[in-house]
Structure 1
Amino acid sequence: MSSSLSDHDHTAAPLERHDSGNITKKATASSVDLHEDIEHGEGPIGALPIPPVDKRRAGLHRALSARQVSMIAIAGTIGTGLFLGTGRSLAQGGPASMLICYSLVGFIVYITLLLLGEMATQYPVAGSFNAYAVRFFSPSYGFALSWNYWFNDAVSVASDLTAAQLVLQYWTTWHTWVVSLIFWVFLVAVNAIHVRAYGELEYWLASLKVITVIVFIILGIVVNAGGNQAHEYIGGKNWHIPGAPFVGGFGGFARVFVTASFAYGGTESLGITAGETKNPSRNMPRVVKFVFWRILLFYILSILLMGLNVPYTYPGLSNKETTTSPFTIVFAMAGSTVAGSFMNTVILTSVLSAGNHALFAGTRVLYGLATTTPPQAPAIFGRTTRAGVPLLALLATSSISIICFGSSFIGSGELWGWLQNIVGVSNQIAWVSIGLASWKFRRAWIRQGRPLSEMKFRAGWTWPWGPYFVIITVTALIIIQGWSSVFPHFSAVDFVSFYIEIPVMIFMYFAWIIIKRPAPLSARPTTPQETQVEPSQKPGILRRVWRRVAYSDAVDIRTVDLRRDEHEEEPEDVADDLEREAHLKGRWGPLWKVYYAIV
């Protein structure tokens, strides 16, 4: 098969299960026919975003292995939210609030990831849940969501670069913005090379983070048991100091939800890698099932040990000027400033990893917006280099990061807090949207009579309550987490950082629906006779205005196309599966199981 088709294999129409030769021929024919339709402006009803065919460009490449995708999911979650954001959570809510909130949000996100996994395995495309919202819920809502999530990723890069300045303040306060600038140039350069460069960098940085968290858990137990500089048993003393374990009452408790959402943000971008994942029908379910349990385990144990070992009153834990990592504090308690400096260095690499992940995800979201039908972003952002990198989308996403240099005027600690709130709420909006898309997807699947056995991955224990649970619980979090910005005293800046994205989403939804008036992707094409209206039958101006304002592009579950864009295994995918099965059933099967579990 030609390189062009292999790069665009996720655009092929559904294939029947035949021998490899037939599969290749059918894939070629369907890809050509489909792209001819797109070139003539005749996008298929219910189709997902389809990368354009460009003889000079390679399009997105399927070059990420299961090993890299697993670590990308881990890298996207174990980052500044865990290493640095927990200091803010502990100072604002106390140890009990932090443990409860992170546990609740972790469970919600796990259910959300299962819902996303069902759709991403069935339709592995660039755009992920943004594309699923367009296809199964509403094109206008999908437009607003996609731009919101792109902004979320762009701001996340700025947040991570600001976090780098906070980490550096452990050693010096002299021109910390210089390191942010160096990091920015490095991240843009890595992402501009090839998706494999991004995947490999993320793999090793994520590996370092996982090892660090494991060491921290062991060290935290030792420190609590008396292996600290004071040589005293700590136990649960920090849960009984004045004000603990719930600091700031209900307002402090509610405030931790948004920092927890910031910390867990990134897991949903696992679906964005589906368009560039090898053998997605096999690798995506593996990643969804196993990765998040590891992440949840790391979070809960780490947060429990932080609350036990670090008092919420620790100097410099979180204020306007700085935020100190509880990881660094515990390492310093165990030995010396050298141990603290080592941990701080590791946190600095995690900041780099988190920024790398956010920049990749934001670039792919913008690329998906530019290549969907109809385009929801300038088509120039859909162009890729020969290496398969959407370079202009990369530069546009990275340019938002310039706001991180505003820390010189605002204070790194306060700026990072605002960015945390904005990104946290944006993550929550994405989770609600995954729930909405999954709700309509599952209803359409049942309504159209397709057997559940045809789903490539199905989280059976979440049927039918999963989507409802995600939508209701996350909506409740969005509403209550800004409590501290209203009571007991109203803080306009904090209130805006908590809720600014909601009116922006509403404005973008109505702007797109009024200006573009998109047809739902489940709508049938109208005939020329139906579009012709007699002059005497034309409605008055008030009626036309009302029709435009009250227009709905909600997708009809009875007619949405559930077969278009389904991924069918290529010969390479089948060969990969056979090779894995041969390894597991062979003489060295137990060793291969250990290898696959680790790698």
Structure 2
Amino acid sequence: MADPGDSPQTPSYGAVDHDREETGIARRRTGLHRGLGSRQVSMIAIGGTIGTGLFLGTGKSLAEGGPASMLLAYALVGTIVYLTLLLLGEMATQYPVAGSFSAYTSRFFSPSYAFAISWNYWLNDAVSVASDLTAAQLVLQFWTAEYTWVVSLVFWVFLVSMNAAHVKAYGELEYWLSFLKVASIIAFIISGVFLNIHADIGFSNWSIPGAPFVGGFGGFARVFVTASFAYGGTESLGITAGETKNPSKNMPRVVKFVFWRILLFYVLSILVIGLNVPWNYPNLSNRTTTTSPFTIVFEQAGLSFAASFMNTVILTSVLSAGNHALFAGTRVLYGLSVANPPQAPALFSWTTTGGVPLPALLLTSSVSVLCFGTSFIGSGALWGWLQNIVGVSNQIAWLSIGLASWRFRKAWIRQGRSLSELKFHTSWTWPYGPAFVIVAVSILIVVQGWSSILPKFSAVDFLSFYIEIPIVVMMYLGWRLLKRQPATDCLPSSSDPLLRLRGNHTDTDRESRRYIWLWDLVDLQAVDLNSDQYDDEDEDKPDERQHTRNSGLWRRVYHYLA
């Protein structure tokens, strides 16, 4: 039997013709490979989230919102993301396809909306790479302010080279970089607690003028987008599902355990930062620079060597986060190109013999040229704007996962399927889980730009908070105009709750088509629930756990911690 990793992994909403010729030249498309094990997928989830948002974003959050606002906002957004991850994990385990949540949105909610959020998420990942390369310049300013753009150029070349190799090379690099970050964060938490007790700091930084809620409601709301930027990356677990070995076993394991580790790291790290670093610390966050609280804590303790070491770790975390964003963006663009109908040029479906979508990689990495705008804008200001754009885009992705999950569950039940047939599900998330995610994220998107309007309107800040919304709306409408003829499986049944909100227009074909053109909703009764389900092959079943059973004690301990 052929290795499932050698077959193309296409989105759930269509097949692809692999014999098609492009511009008269037959291009070989080998498809993506299932080369990531549970050990690597777990670390990818951690590495994609523990990055510049935690190491640098917390400095910006502390300066703008204060210690209490930062702790509450990160905890609330973390709760939202945890629920979102459970909803996504349910669909990704059942249908482990390339394209992530956009494939599920197209299949169960709206193809046109899926088109819009797919391109928006690709832009999110591409801008994230630029943001991480900009962050590298901020981190380098700890040692020197001269020629900081060089580190961005070196990192860009390295990231493109690594992502052009086999997916196993990406997974192994991400694993070791993430392992270094996790170990450093644990050391930081222990050192921060010791410093707070030894120096008798306690909660004194919570009672200085302006604290603990800096900037009132506006400052509190502003932290949400920074927290969303920091937690961004967890949703890309759905992207790695298309290249994960034995997804029906590995994906639930990752979903259940990885996020709790991330949440623990974030909450404890933020608490330690808020206790030890005052919100008005010099150069914590301004137009030209942003200083990591992780290095400030060691500097305050007089441990300059430890501060330099931590800054080096932060620099590697920037590399890891950029590596993760470039990988995810490349796979999103690949998923768009193999959709049916295609939603991106067929060129981007071409893969190397190692399963790497090289044209998609090159286009995604090209957006990183934005990072060189620091000479004109200032590293701190540019990174802040890019961070806002990525944070809002992450929120739109979580909103889309909530919508797709809500429609998926309703389709599953409406077609008489038992929940016990699902490979992975959590009963307590239904029916309130999707609703909570949809409502909570919608509120965050609306209110977090409060400080850009009041007390003084800032056009640049306002655009960074809200420009994603008109982009998604315009792309949605544009795709609707291009695809006037609705697909038959988009015809809503008379029992559809969204149809009843507008009245029953299914009496005539003309009225049905008018409804579909306006709303583009998938019919839950007709949607295919069987395609793209992954059946575990014999060669999939052994994994790293079996190896640890036959290894020594130190290998078992190492594997558990990793």
TM-score w.r.t. length of structure 2: 0.91
**2:182 is the alignment partner of 1:210:** yes
Give the one of 342, 345, 352 matched to 1:375: 342
| Alpha-carbon distance in 2 for matches of 1:557, 1:2 | 34
* 1:573 Cα offset (Å): 2.1
**2:102 is the alignment partner of 1:130:** yes
Q: Give yes or no for contact 1:87–1:317 (8 Å, CA) kept in 2.
A: yes
1:435-470 deviation digits (Å, cap 9, x = unpaired)? 000000000001111011110000112111110000
* 1:589 Cα offset (Å): 11
Q: Give yes or no for contact 2:484–2:517 (8 Å, CA) kept in 1.
A: no
| Alpha-carbon distance in 2 for matches of 1:582, 1:481 | 47
**2:300 is the alignment partner of 1:339:** no
Give the one of 377, 380, 389 matched to 2:356: 389
| Alpha-carbon distance in 1 for matches of 2:378, 2:556 | 50
* 1:598 Cα offset (Å): 2.4
| Alpha-carbon distance in 1 for matches of 2:477, 2:432 | 30
- Assess, with a 3 A threshold, how the Cα gap between structure 1 residues 594 and 250 changes in structure 2: closer, same or farther: same
Q: Give yes or no for contact 2:29–2:349 (8 Å, CA) kept in 1.
A: no
Partner of 1:100: 72
Give the one of 372, 377, 380 matched to 1:405: 372
One-letter amino acid of the structure 2 residue matched with residue 107 of structure 1: T
- Assess, with a 3 A threshold, how the Cα gap between structure 1 residues 189 and 592 changes in structure 2: closer, same or farther: closer
**2:148 is the alignment partner of 1:149:** no
**2:49 is the alignment partner of 1:77:** yes
1:474-519 deviation digits (Å, cap 9, x = unpaired)? 0000000000000111111100000001011000001101122263
| Alpha-carbon distance in 2 for matches of 1:169, 1:56 | 45
One-letter amino acid of the structure 2 residue matched with residue 343 of structure 1: M
Partner of 2:232: 265
Q: Give yes or no for contact 2:99–2:335 (8 Å, CA) kept in 1.
A: yes
Partner of 1:354: 321
**2:130 is the alignment partner of 1:158:** yes
Q: Give yes or no for contact 1:139–1:521 (8 Å, CA) kept in 2.
A: no
Q: Give yes or no for contact 2:18–2:29 (8 Å, CA) kept in 1.
A: no
1:169-228 deviation digits (Å, cap 9, x = unpaired)? 1111111001100100000000001111110100000000000100000000011012xx
- Assess, with a 3 A threshold, how the Cα gap between structure 1 residues 547 and 411 changes in structure 2: closer, same or farther: same
| Alpha-carbon distance in 1 for matches of 2:547, 2:320 | 35
Q: Give yes or no for contact 2:8–2:31 (8 Å, CA) kept in 1.
A: no
**2:482 is the alignment partner of 1:519:** no
Partner of 1:167: 139
Partner of 1:240: 207
Partner of 1:278: 245
* 1:57 Cα offset (Å): 3.7
Structure 1, gaps ≥5 residues long: 14-33, 42-53, 227-231, 525-542
| Alpha-carbon distance in 2 for matches of 1:582, 1:345 | 33
Partner of 1:598: 561
1:39-70 deviation digits (Å, cap 9, x = unpaired)? 699xxxxxxxxxxxx99442111000100000
Partner of 2:447: 480
| Alpha-carbon distance in 2 for matches of 1:341, 1:76 | 23
**2:11 is the alignment partner of 1:8:** no
1:219-262 deviation digits (Å, cap 9, x = unpaired)? 00011012xxxxx3100000000000000000000000000000
Q: Report the 3-state secondary structure (helix = DSSP H, G, I; strand = E; otherwise coil) of the residue aligned with 1:458.
A: coil
* 1:551 Cα offset (Å): 3.3
Give the one of 157, 160, 166 matched to 1:185: 157
1:300-354 deviation digits (Å, cap 9, x = unpaired)? 0000000000000100000000000000001212233222111111100000000
- Assess, with a 3 A threshold, how the Cα gap between structure 1 residues 55 and 243 changes in structure 2: closer, same or farther: closer
| Alpha-carbon distance in 1 for matches of 2:245, 2:516 | 44
Partner of 2:505: none
* 1:596 Cα offset (Å): 4.5
Q: Give yes or no for contact 1:10–1:567 (8 Å, CA) kept in 2.
A: no
* 1:8 Cα offset (Å): 1.8
One-letter amino acid of the structure 2 residue matched with residue 78 of structure 1: I
| Alpha-carbon distance in 2 for matches of 1:385, 1:409 | 38
| Alpha-carbon distance in 2 for matches of 1:284, 1:560 | 24
One-letter amino acid of the structure 2 residue matched with residue 193 of structure 1: A
Q: Report the 3-state secondary structure (helix = DSSP H, G, I; strand = E; otherwise coil) of the residue aligned with 2:56.
A: helix
- Assess, with a 3 A threshold, how the Cα gap between structure 1 residues 491 and 475 changes in structure 2: closer, same or farther: same
Q: Give yes or no for contact 1:122–1:457 (8 Å, CA) kept in 2.
A: yes
**2:561 is the alignment partner of 1:561:** no
Partner of 2:502: none
- Assess, with a 3 A threshold, how the Cα gap between structure 1 residues 388 and 311 changes in structure 2: closer, same or farther: same
Across the aligned residues of Structure 1 and Structure 2, the Cα RMSD in angstroms comes to: 2.4
Q: Give yes or no for contact 1:217–1:302 (8 Å, CA) kept in 2.
A: yes
- Assess, with a 3 A threshold, how the Cα gap between structure 1 residues 456 and 9 changes in structure 2: closer, same or farther: farther
Aligned counterparts, 1:22-101, within 5 A: 38=17, 56-101=28-73
Partner of 2:435: 468
- Identity in percent: 70
* 1:11 Cα offset (Å): 6.0
- Assess, with a 3 A threshold, how the Cα gap between structure 1 residues 548 and 282 changes in structure 2: closer, same or farther: closer
Q: Report the 3-state secondary structure (helix = DSSP H, G, I; strand = E; otherwise coil) of the residue aligned with 1:522.
A: helix
Partner of 2:223: 256
- Assess, with a 3 A threshold, how the Cα gap between structure 1 residues 124 and 549 changes in structure 2: closer, same or farther: closer
Q: Report the 3-state secondary structure (helix = DSSP H, G, I; strand = E; otherwise coil) of the residue aligned with 1:278.
A: coil
Q: Give yes or no for contact 2:65–2:220 (8 Å, CA) kept in 1.
A: yes
Q: Give yes or no for contact 2:92–2:241 (8 Å, CA) kept in 1.
A: yes
Select between 403-412 and 460-469 the one with higher mean Cα deviation: 460-469
- Assess, with a 3 A threshold, how the Cα gap between structure 1 residues 582 and 59 changes in structure 2: closer, same or farther: closer
1:126-171 deviation digits (Å, cap 9, x = unpaired)? 1010110110100000000000000000000000000000011111
Give the one of 421, 426, 434 matched to 1:459: 426
* 1:117 Cα offset (Å): 0.1
* 1:553 Cα offset (Å): 1.7
One-letter amino acid of the structure 2 residue matched with residue 235 of structure 1: G
| Alpha-carbon distance in 1 for matches of 2:408, 2:482 | 27
- Assess, with a 3 A threshold, how the Cα gap between structure 1 residues 451 and 9 changes in structure 2: closer, same or farther: farther
| Alpha-carbon distance in 1 for matches of 2:376, 2:468 | 24
Select between 94-103 and 510-519 the one with higher mean Cα deviation: 510-519
| Alpha-carbon distance in 1 for matches of 2:533, 2:86 | 18
Aligned length: 538
| Alpha-carbon distance in 2 for matches of 1:274, 1:512 | 27
- Assess, with a 3 A threshold, how the Cα gap between structure 1 residues 595 and 310 changes in structure 2: closer, same or farther: closer
Q: Give yes or no for contact 1:149–1:430 (8 Å, CA) kept in 2.
A: yes
Give the one of 492, 506, 509 matched to 2:476: 509
Partner of 2:333: 366
Aligned counterparts, 1:537-552, within 5 A: 547=514, 550-552=517-519
| Alpha-carbon distance in 1 for matches of 2:92, 2:485 | 24
Q: Give yes or no for contact 2:27–2:350 (8 Å, CA) kept in 1.
A: no
| Alpha-carbon distance in 2 for matches of 1:551, 1:131 | 21
| Alpha-carbon distance in 1 for matches of 2:19, 2:548 | 47
* 1:423 Cα offset (Å): 0.2
- Assess, with a 3 A threshold, how the Cα gap between structure 1 residues 394 and 305 changes in structure 2: closer, same or farther: same
| Alpha-carbon distance in 1 for matches of 2:345, 2:142 | 43
One-letter amino acid of the structure 2 residue matched with residue 143 of structure 1: F
- Assess, with a 3 A threshold, how the Cα gap between structure 1 residues 39 and 76 changes in structure 2: closer, same or farther: closer
